[in-house]
Chain A
Amino acid sequence: MSAVTAEGRATLRRRHHRLRRNLREAAAIGLALVLVVWTLAPIYNMVFVALESHGDVFTSSIWPARPSLKSFWVVMSEGYWYLQYFWHQFGNSIYIGAATTFLTLLIGSLASFSIGRMRLKNGWIVSNAALMTYVIPASFLAIPFYSIMIKYGLANNLWSVIFAEVTFATPYAIFIFQQYAVSIPIELDEAARIDGASPLQIYFRIYLPLMAPALVAVGTYALLLAWNEYLYQFMLLSSVRSMTVPVALAQFLNSDEAPWNYMMATAILYAIPPVAIYYAFRGRMTAGLTMGGVKG
């Protein structure tokens, strides 16, 4: 009698347990659905508008009425007057991104090598200044920066944007490089010194190769920063031939007849490289990009 009730109680408890687990699972799936809708709605909206064959996207449905890839073709063949220089502007974006990445890595690694490995006297001033720069919003300096670029004779020049972006990306680079360099034994440098290597040789032969993971992470960060940036590019680049894609995109907004399907097709083409690069280097970036990814 009592054995039966004990058994019955055990079954009950098991059933209760299973019910709770199923409820938890259902809640997790519900949350996942909400997250997917929340995340993908604006992205779906981009694709949806880009697939419309007419510029006036006034269909009262949540599916494209007549989906076509025409607008992508129009953008890629520069077949609309706003998009006349699309590939040229895309090239400008790539040029700015590449130069920003290279200079950020070079200047950042040199400075961190000097402070961290060569123990430059008062090097902490440099790292603290870098930390300070890192947390200042770049947008607050855009107006004086613009006036100064005119004085330097760099207005409407891609290099003015590159300098701005390198200035705001390097602090993060120094920050991460210094953190990472702690894991590389200083004895390596000392051994190389005893063998007669110059600091320059140590930098190239020991420091840079061992820092490769940090270089990849920071390089990707600098590239994404340059790709994300709008304000400095908008203020400093005014002619259609020196413009970058985001500036050209925003120009659409000012026109009376805004062909939204072309605009969204352009937006998607511009968004593909950073997304692809992120997923390609994801493994190393969970590392590097964390703190810095926000700066814009």
Chain B
Amino acid sequence: MSGSILAARDPAALQRPRMLLRRGRLHRSDLAWSIAFVVPYAALVTAFLVYPIGYALWMGSDPALYAQLLSDPRYVRVAVNSVLMVGLAVTVQMSLALLLSGFFARPRRWIKALLLVYVLPWTLPAVPAYLSFHWMFVAYPQGLLDNLLTTLLGLEPVHWFRNGWTALACDTVASVWKWMPLWTLIFLGGRMAIPRDLYDAARVDGASPYRCFVHITLPLLASLYIVSALISTIWTFGDYAPVLFVSGGAPAFRSDVIATLGFHYALDFADPPLGVAAALSVLPLLVPVVLVLVRRLDAMDLQL
């Protein structure tokens, strides 16, 4: 129960439903009930998911839209930004989360208390949290960060949002700040599920903590780590909030990402099909990731 999700395959648990499936046949009245129970979900999916997806494909079906996208210098810059931000944010937060989960796994009371503080960013709603970041960076020269830089380190205050790259870095930092605690919790759950005797046996054999990490923790967490990294990749691609609220795309769309550019096209330039096309242009990148992920998730026996 206390371990979060865990990549332990329990063959008995996996096989049981299938065996029963073969054994019991549904009565006709039961079949009606079982269909009736899925109808709400099927209706929901049809009306609010399949239809919008179909509509999106139809809106973005004109090849001219993509030519228009590629000829827009804003789009090219934004695509580069997206890839950079996703790559950086995912790499940094995943590797730090993996290491920090080892720190939080130590059985000390003050470390448990620290964990309670550490997860705070993840529980905060996105808009308030990112607005706070916005103010910290934007209020030249009186933002909290600039004040810290000048009073503590004697540095010059920085115009964070005057340059697209520093603005994008600010967005990335905010995104990592918000989501790293979640992944730390997940890896912590994964570590807790590793049997202690493995480490005890390794220690008896004289293994150093480093070798324990490389030869026990890493192989056993690999599957969980890959799934988490893939999920994080997809969600960071779709996450508009850090960019929309921290830098707002300043200066002049230079720090925007695909997830926000679509809305600028649709709302500010009143061209919804172009906005949809911008979102769809990520599909060649995302679909393979989604397929790999679904296969892996399906094979994993995730547990509460």
A120 touches B35 (CB 8 A): yes
- Where chain A touches its partner, the secondary structure class is helix
Question: Given the complex, which residues of B lie within 8 Å of A12, measured CB to CB?
Answer: none
A134 → chain B closest CB, angstroms: 8
Say yes or no: is A166 at the interface (Cβ < 8 Å to chain B).
Answer: yes
B103 x A42 contact (CB < 8 A): no
> A35 to B181, alpha carbons, bound, how many Å?
11
Q: With CB as the reference atom, state the residue of chain A lying closest to B55.
A: A144
Q: Is the beta-carbon distance between A42 and B185 smaller than 8 angstroms?
A: no
Partner of A126, one of B41, B151, B293: B41
Residue among A61, A120, A123, A137 making CB contact with B238, cutoff 8 Å = A137
User: In this complex, what residue of B is CB-closest to A187?
Assistant: B20
CA distance A143 to B258 in the complex (A): 13
Please tell me if the beta carbons of B37 and A144 are within 8 angstroms of each other in the complex. no
Interfacial residues of chain A within 258-296, with CB under 8 A of chain B in the complex: 260, 263-264, 267-268, 270-271, 274-275, 278-279, 286-288, 290-291, 293-296
- Of B5, B47, B131, B148, the most chain A CB neighbours within 10 A belong to B131
Contact A141 B41, beta carbon cutoff 8 Å = no
Q: Which of A121, A131, A144 contacts B276 (CB 8 A)?
A: A144
A199, B36: Cα distance in complex, Å: 11
B residues less than 8 Å from A38 (CB atoms)? 177
Minimum Cβ distance to chain A for residue B12 (Å): 10
Docked-complex contact B144 and A62, CB < 8 angstroms: yes
Q: Are B41 and A291 in contact (CB under 8 A)?
A: no
- Tell me if A250 and B5 are in contact (CB < 8 A): no
The yes or no answer to B253 lying at the interface (CB within 8 A) is: no
Verify if B45 is at the interface (C-beta below 8 Å from A): yes
Check B241 for interface membership: any CB of A closer than 8 A: yes
Q: Are B142 and A39 in contact (CB under 8 A)?
A: no
Q: Closest residue to A173 on the B side, CB-wise?
A: B41
* Minimal Cβ-Cβ distance residue in B for A35: B118
Known: A32-B114, A41-B144, A46-B128. A114 touches B55 (CB 8 A): no
Hey, which chain B residues are within 8 Å of A3, CB to CB? none
Contact B45 A133 (CB under 8 A): yes
In the assembled complex, A49 has its CB within 8 A of some CB on chain B: yes
Q: Indicate if the CB atoms of B133 and A42 lie closer than 8 Å.
A: yes
In the bound assembly, the distance between CA atoms of A290 and B40 in angstroms comes to: 26
The answer on a CB contact under 8 Å between A144 and B59 is yes
Q: A42, A43, A217, A230: which contacts B126 (Cβ < 8 A)?
A: A230
Cβ contacts under 8 Å, A180 to chain B: 304
- A203 and B124 alpha carbons, distance in the complex (Å): 35
Q: Select A139's contact among B30, B179, B238, beta carbons within 8 Å.
A: B238
For chain B, residues 1 to 44, give those with C-beta under 8 angstroms from any C-beta of chain A.
1-2, 4-5, 13, 16-17, 20-21, 24, 26, 30-31, 33-35, 37-38, 40-42, 44
Check B69 for interface membership: any CB of A closer than 8 A: no
Contact A131 B297 (CB under 8 A): yes
* Known contacts A32-B114, A167-B44, A288-B304: A274-B125 contact under CB 8 Å: yes
Offer 5 A-B interface pairs, CB within 8 angstroms, sorted by A. A60-B150, A118-B34, A143-B263, A264-B132, A264-B135
Which residues of A are in contact with B by a Cβ distance under 8 Å? 28, 31-32, 35-36, 38-46, 48-49, 57-62, 106-108, 110-111, 113-116, 118-121, 123, 126, 128-129, 131-133, 135-145, 147-148, 152, 163-164, 166-167, 170, 174-176, 179-180, 182, 186, 198-200, 203, 213-214, 217, 224, 227-228, 230-231, 246, 249-250, 253, 260, 263-264, 267-268, 270-271, 274-275, 278-279, 286-288, 290-291, 293-296
Known: A110-B37, A148-B51, A179-B301. 15 other contacts (CB 8 A): A39-B120, A46-B128, A119-B21, A121-B31, A126-B41, A133-B49, A137-B234, A139-B239, A140-B280, A141-B56, A148-B55, A199-B37, A274-B124, A293-B122, A296-B239
What residues make up the interface of B, taking CB atoms closer than 8 Å to A? 1-2, 4-5, 13, 16-17, 20-21, 24, 26, 30-31, 33-35, 37-38, 40-42, 44-45, 47-49, 51-53, 55-56, 59, 100, 103, 106, 110-111, 114, 116-129, 131-136, 139, 141-142, 144, 147-148, 150-151, 174, 177, 179, 181-182, 185-186, 189, 231-232, 234-235, 237-241, 244-245, 248, 259, 262-263, 266, 272, 275-276, 279-280, 282, 290, 293-294, 297-298, 301-304
